[in-house]
Structure 1
Amino acid sequence: MTPRILIIAGSDSGGGAGIQADIKTVTMLGGHAMTAITAITAQNTLGVQAVLPVPTEMVLAQIDSCLSDIGVDAVKIGMIGSAETAHAVADRLEPLDVPIVFDPVMIATSGATLADPATIAAFARLMRIASVTTPNLPELAALGGEEAMRAHGCHLLVKGGHGAGRIVIDRLIAPGGAEVRRLEGKRIETDSTHGTGCTLASALATGLAAGMPVGAAFDQAVRFVRLSLLSAPGLGQGHGPMGQGLIGAGVTAFAALLGED
């Protein structure tokens, strides 16, 4: 059966990140993407011009609509919109017995703030129900580092794109703190990096929804991001969108590329 992935995240009008990047990623990896939109943003490659949170009741209504009819095999959480929505979403998802991937979105690639202090404080609820949390290095530091994250009992996928040097190191850490997987790759020099975190988390969720072990899903997700960076169409005047939908003609073409770095 086609893996069903529920994406709870914000909308990016420029199509580079958020729900738009998530849908492209899930579709390319052979999944069915469903959405519960938490915020509407006016943004492009240069930055975020406006943000309008969706009322919590409407976010929950979208979730309930998908779950009651189509069902779900994995959930991906991105931009959450507000502390109220974070707590309500945690309450709704806690009874589910499916993998949950949480991308703790705080700041956009352009530098715009996408979560206020109250919302960031509420992330603890989401991390407690998550199977995997996927912070980049600044987000990991803001959340207290690896030691603090162990208390939440989820796997940690530490994204290395914000690190220094020519080599990017992505790491998968088990709930007990042991590193169980790492992938190292030459840094891809490009300005088309908008949506990397969204893409990685959605690719991971799609792999888990398909029944992959977390290590294999991690490998697929990191490689999919790298292929998307290499396939970027070069749009916009700032941090451009990646090329998730331009990798190949479909899942078969993508599968042939999986072994390439």
Structure 2
Amino acid sequence: MIHPQAVVDPRAELADDVTVGPFAVIGADVRIDSGTTIGPHAVIEGPTRIGKDNRIYQFVSLGAAPQDKKYKGEATELIIGDRNLIREYCTFNRGTVQDLGYTQVGDDNWIMAYVHLAHDCVVGNHTIFANGATLAGHVTIEDYAILGGFSLIHQFVRVGAYAFTGMGSAVSRDVPPYVTASGNLAKPHGLNAEGLRRNGFTGEQISRLRHAYKTLYRAGLRLEEAMDALRADAGHPEIERLLRFLESSKRSIIR
């Protein structure tokens, strides 16, 4: 399953059915689980852990040292889960000891060409990153979020679950769950209602989230006042998710 023109370090650990294309380079301290395919000319450096049934295309660079001037060669990690699709020219860097010590990608993510994940980023499950989406360091992208092409996410920013960023958005503050954001700098542009419908949210849930969006953005309330109003509707999981996000925001949210 390993092409004779691939270079695999003897200290790498690959499951028996991993496929490695020609001219790919797999470094030491790389572990790749069963069913994963590595395309031609891909370069994977360690320490890196890659799960099952991932499809990694040609010319991808995974596990390179973080682009951080404080990095001094520490053995930080890149961790990738299962069933991810990673297209051409993506670059995922390892973490730094100043933060998490790892960069992590969950399961079932669809990551298109030229996407960059900097150090200490955490990507959840079932996300979609369109071509050229770029994460600075220390970014968190929650489950089912979608980043439009060439979205730029500032360091330490979080993008909430089921949120959506439009093409070319520059995001410098947290994007709450369920919200559509776009622009440079990104501003809120309504609820991601179509994304919610596609992911099985009921009409009642979407109606409740529309009301929450209006409370947060259109009622003329300060953020703390809006959060107090939202707490009155606590008990619904989708509202509780939104409140947890708002309460834990360190950079504040797009407004």
Task: Using structure 1 for the length normalisation, give the TM-score.
Answer: 0.25
The structure that is helix-richer by fraction is 1
The structure that is strand-richer by fraction is 2
- Structure possessing the higher radius of gyration over alpha carbons: 2
Question: Higher RCO, 1 or 2 (CA under 8 Å, sep at least 6)?
Answer: 1
